[in-house]
A and B are shown apart, each in its own frame.
Chain A
């Protein structure tokens, strides 16, 4: 299972927007529900083991860059097209590495 951390300042509102976007994008791309887990995290506790991909904004990406996970940044958190373009290539890569 691929774990995706959706990071924002407090892990409340905007992280959840990202999670909804990520879930929709992956579902639309034809991945089977349950093969990934998108979790909402706050910036202070986001650096944890087991996360494969972080999706966040440039504001919070800085503190995650030195983790082994891939970091995907988006400008408009609500824009699913942007999430799709940024996330899907990275997701495919991580998926291949895992298999």
Chain B
């Protein structure tokens, strides 16, 4: 009987989906929610976690042929589209890493609350999916590090500390700029492009004048579809498939065979399947976080008095929609410049990072808004460019070091600058220890 109980306990504690369900359960009970909401909330969290795995499968099916295409046609074996959502969904389904990620997710919350209690940084990080990405990144990186990688407990402890630190230090860096953008000190930025945001906010003052505000410009309407990240992701993936296929055809490569059908039709289908898979993953992340984040907010509000929330980047979008668009577009330019550089001197800069519209839109757009706040439209253009340049560079380094984790996860990695920064540093330490 007792042995069975232990087995049950071990089963629960090593099953990531059940674990996040339990985190949700505890949060909902702590907030004294009615029984029906506790039950449905807990189950929804588990369902969301399982949806994630399904979406990862869809994306992998579309991204595999893209990798083959790059390898066979251009001789580039390590091309990747950095989409945090996809790498995370892959890793969360892993029987070894999955539970560690779930524990770290909880640990990062706790470290955040402790830091907000004892330091002057009273920030509570409410962007749940980024906490998840931080947890995945640190767990993946530390699992590769000699001396730490063989101890699950140690991985969770150090990953929680690093993730928790990132959740207060990075938001603190955005505080001076946020005051300029939103005109109050109600909240700070809780989104992992901070290094690019702060750099563009800082450099903006040297290139332009906030009086030349981007909001005074007028943009054509057709550009509207670019404001839908999923659609833009599909369109740009199609363009990449199409161009590389054309090069392949010109070189006599069997492109139809590589893509599994008529190349032009498959280019459309695979690109849109890629976007669709990301859509499924988003549904999963949304379902997991729908219960956990409100619970975290309720609990932290009770423990940390006069705390300030760190929020997701779209909270600043309404304040400067034109700067958003400028930053988005110039971020693509910055990213493409680095991509060409990565191709030209491969493999000196690590992986070859293809344009990820999600990172360009959210991080590039936000960097544009930060740049605009100190340097007007010129600052916005520079800010976006800086973001595209930085994150593509860092993602290339991170991709190479995460590549060893699981060959089945090839083709994607982490994007945003802060994730790239943390990842590159951990990868560097690992390379020193080896």
Contact = CB atoms under 8 A, between A and B. Distances in A.
Interface in A64-87: 74-79
Interface string A15-42: 1110110010000000000000000101
A11 to B, nearest CB: 5
B227 A43 contact: yes
A57 B187 contact: no
Contacts of A17: 126, 311-312, 315
Given A13-B130, A59-B321, A77 B279 contact: no
* A-B pairs, 7 with minimum CB distance: A13-B312, A14-B314, A57-B318, A44-B230, A13-B127, A14-B312, A59-B317
B94 interface: no
Given A9-B362, A58-B321, A63 B186 contact: no
B312 A60 contact: no
A74 B182 CA distance: 13
A8 interface: yes
Interface of A: 8-17, 19-20, 23, 40, 42-45, 57-60, 62-63, 74-79
Given A12-B285, A59-B317, A44 B311 contact: no
Contact of A63 (B127, B224, B229, B286): B224
Nearest to A42: B282
Interface in B183-234: 186-187, 190-191, 224, 227-231
Given A12-B129, A13-B127, A78 B187 contact: yes
Interface residues of B, number: 40
Nearest to B132: A12
Given A13-B128, A79-B186, A43 B312 contact: no
Contacts of B324: 59
A8 B314 CA distance: 8
B145 interface: no
20 contacts: A8-B314, A9-B228, A9-B229, A12-B128, A13-B126, A13-B190, A13-B191, A13-B313, A14-B313, A16-B128, A16-B286, A16-B294, A42-B279, A42-B286, A44-B230, A44-B231, A57-B314, A57-B317, A58-B321, A77-B315
B289 interface: yes
Interface of B: 126-130, 182, 186-187, 190-191, 224, 227-231, 279, 282-283, 285-286, 289-290, 293-294, 297, 309, 311-315, 317-319, 321, 324, 358, 361-362
A23 B291 CA distance: 13
A16 B282 CA distance: 13
B312 A12 contact: yes
A75 B231 CA distance: 24
Contacts of A77: 311, 314-315, 318
A63 B315 contact: no
Nearest to A23: B294
Contacts of A43: 227-229
Contacts of A20: 293-294, 297
B309 A78 contact: yes
B358 A40 contact: no
Nearest to B227: A59
Instruction: Indicate the member of A8, A23, A77 with the most B CB atoms within 10 Å.
Output: A77
B230 A60 contact: no
B282 A76 contact: no
Contacts of A14: 311-315
Given A12-B285, A16-B289, A57-B318, A76 B186 contact: yes
A23 B298 CA distance: 13
A12 B186 contact: no
Nearest to A75: B318
A54 to B, nearest CB: 15
B84 to A, nearest CB: 11
A57 B128 CA distance: 20
B229 A13 contact: no
Given A10-B282, A13-B128, A20-B293, 6 more contacts: A9-B361, A9-B362, A13-B313, A44-B229, A44-B231, A59-B317
